[in-house]
Amino acid sequence: MTEPRLNASRLDRLPAAARPGARGQGPPGIVHIGLGAFHRAHQAVHTQDAGDWGILAVSPRSTDVLESLRAQDHYYAVLSKEGSHRSSRVMSSIVDTAHLPTQQEKVLDALASPATRAVTLTVTEKGYRLGPDGRLLADDELRAEAAGGTPRTIIGALVRGLQRRIAADAGPIALASCDNLPGNGAALRSVLHDFCWLMPGGEARPLVEFLESEAGFPSSVVDRIVPATTEDDLARVAAELGVRDRAAVAAEPYSQWVSTDEFPGGRPDWARSGVVFTADTAPYEQAKLRVLNGSHSALAYLGGLAGYETIAEAVQDEALEGFVRSLLTEEVLPTVDAPEIDLHAYADTVLRRFANPALKHRTAQVASDGSQKLPVRLLGAIRQNMTAGRSPLRTALVVAAWLRYTALSVDDRGAELAVSDPLADRVRAADEAELLARADRLLSELDAELAADSRFTALLRENLRGLGAAGARAWAAEQGVVRAGEGRA
């Protein structure tokens, strides 16, 4: 690739349709934490389309994207892909970046600036440090931070920033989680409160007061499929725009953002960019987390075990698609309380989006961090079904597929699977026999309550045996069959 690098001086060489509007002057109004592809293809795009608010994007760990953005004056392209259709646009809403571990002062100052009116977060499920009871899991690292140590966690850094904001009398602010968690606003509020109460009382009180009276915690549902960028995507952007862009992201055209309107310091006119403000996000949230993310995880583990590289390949396999449809109609949709949504139509759209062959979303990417994702996506449906006297046959198969995938890390042809999960070491098994023998124990790492329920563990073992004997495709095909009278309590 010999194209010149994308930067401010080269914007006028871009095709007119791809050129960003002029940047607003003045300091950024939004601090965003989490510089992943999802933010660049979602909130940054909605913010750009809403007007002239700028974003200071903070990377909690890695420096790759941050350095690429800096080399490009923070301009980057979003490539939208569907079937054979491609189109790119350059974004200008990220106006500055900071690296949390090495530029902490810059981040804390931004949180304390009156210009900053909202903080948005995409830090993945792990970033919230939530325990099984929905409260902060206070470990040594968090305790040390609360006692005055350098904040290295996102929660610790946010609280120190707010402390500085109170001292500066910089006014109200929204703290808007954009992660795939149920009640993400309330979850963020609760971990921040819990962190404050780990601090010495004198320090905690003004903070807690601020959280209660000056901070807004909007709940949101965010949705856009944004796989990790590939070299092919970068080549495509270069060909289309005539510039080299190392921070480009590729995504499906679809984008959804539903939020409560709790931004006490003001916010961009996001409704202009299609954001839906509503008093209650719960129905959208259940539909999105259980139907979309739940079936995504199912396809990631079963597809990965069956040897499929991408979600699109997995969902185009009749056996897996049939299984996922029956999982949704028999076990997931009945647990979603969303009378305003046509759930069957929603499920169809979701499966159609997964089949977009241009996306090349890797099963291994969606499979990562399953121990953080499954509780949010599927374990709630399992509990509800069991309480209602319905057998969670297929959801148990997905849990078994996660366990087999993570414990053995080989697919059905014996090829190595790349496992990335905080629980990976704790649920590893040497072979199939050990996996079966220790299934209940390994499950207890994911969910102690389910592991203590013999009805569920019997189903889990049956599914582990089936996956081992028949392989993921054949076993899913068999479990996907809907039997007469099934699903009734």
Interacting residues with ligand CS2 (CB under 6 A): 180, 223-225, 293, 296, 365-366, 373
Question: Minimum Å distance from CB 418 to ligand CS2?
Answer: 14
Q: Could you give the C-alpha distances from 201 to 131, 141, 160, 210, in angstroms and in order?
A: 23, 19, 15, 14
Cα dihedral: 150, 152, 153, 155 (round 10)? 40
Indicate the residue among 189 and 362 with the shorter CB distance to ligand CS2. 362
DSSP designation for 5: B
Name the residue nearer to ligand CS2 (CB basis): 180 or 463.
Answer: 180
Nearer to ligand CS2, 99 or 373 (CB): 373
| DSSP string over 386-448 | HHTT---HHHHHHHHHHHHHHHH-B-TTS-B-----TTTTTT--SSHHHHHHTHHHHHHHH-H
Give the nearer residue to ligand CS2 in terms of CB position, either 95 or 221. Answer: 221
Of the pair 192, 351, the CB lying nearest ligand CS2 is at 351
Angle between helices 294-305 and 472-480 (to 10 degrees): 140
Q: How many residues does the chain have?
A: 489
Q: Is 330 helix (H, G, I), strand (E, B) or coil?
A: helix
Tokens of 212: 């209660």
- State the nearest-atom distance from the C-beta of 398 to ligand CS2, in Å: 13
Q: Rounded to the nearest 5°, which phi and psi values hold at 122?
A: -130, 90
Give SS3 for 32. strand
Residue 225 or residue 237: which is nearer to ligand CS2 going by CB? Answer: 225
The least distance separating ligand CS2 from the CB of residue 304, rounded to whole angstroms, comes to: 13
CB of 374 to ligand CS2, least distance (A): 10
The candidate with the shortest Cα–Cα distance to 424, out of 463, 378, 370, 460, is: 370
DSSP state of 3: P
Alpha-carbon 372 to chain mean position: 10
Supply φ then ψ for residue 131, to 5 degrees: -90, 175
Smallest gap from residue 394 Cβ to ligand CS2 (A) = 18
- Taking the C-alpha atoms of residue 251 and residue 255, their distance in angstroms, rounded to an integer, is 9
DSSP SS3 for 310: strand
What is the spatial distance between Cα 149 and Cα 470, in angstroms, rounded to a whole number? 53
Q: Which is nearer to ligand CS2, 159 or 226 (CB)?
A: 226
The distance of closest approach from Cβ of residue 117 to ligand CS2 in the complex, given in angstroms and rounded to an integer, is 25
Nearest distance in Å: CB 284, ligand CS2:
12
Is the Cβ of residue 160 or residue 224 nearer to ligand CS2 in the bound state? Answer: 224
* Cβ at position 328, least distance to ligand CS2 in Å: 15
Instruction: Rank residues 7 and 349 by Cβ distance to ligand CS2 and give the closer one.
Output: 349
Smaller CB separation from ligand CS2, 108 or 378: 378
Ordered DSSP codes for 274-313: TPEE-S--HHHHHIIIIIIIHHHHHHHHHHHHTT-SBHHH
Cα–Cα distance, 431 to 183 (Å, whole number): 38
DSSP 135: S
Least distance in angstroms from the C-beta of 455 to ligand CS2: 28
**Least distance between ligand CS2 and beta carbon 296 (Å):** 4
Tell whether the torsion through CA atoms of 168, 173, 178 and 181 is positive or negative: positive
- Residue 276 and residue 257 in contact, taking contact as beta carbons nearer than 8 Å: yes
Nearest to 257 by CA among 221, 212, 231, 299: 221
Nearer Cβ to ligand CS2 (150/420): 420
Q: How far is the CB of 367 from ligand CS2 (least distance, A)?
A: 8
Structural tokens at position 384: 């509800």
| Measured distance between the N- and C-terminal CA atoms of the chain, rounded to whole angstroms | 61
- Six token digits for residue 369: 């961090």
CB of 39 to ligand CS2, least distance (A): 12
In the bound state with ligand CS2, the residue whose beta carbon lies nearer, of 180 and 371, is 180
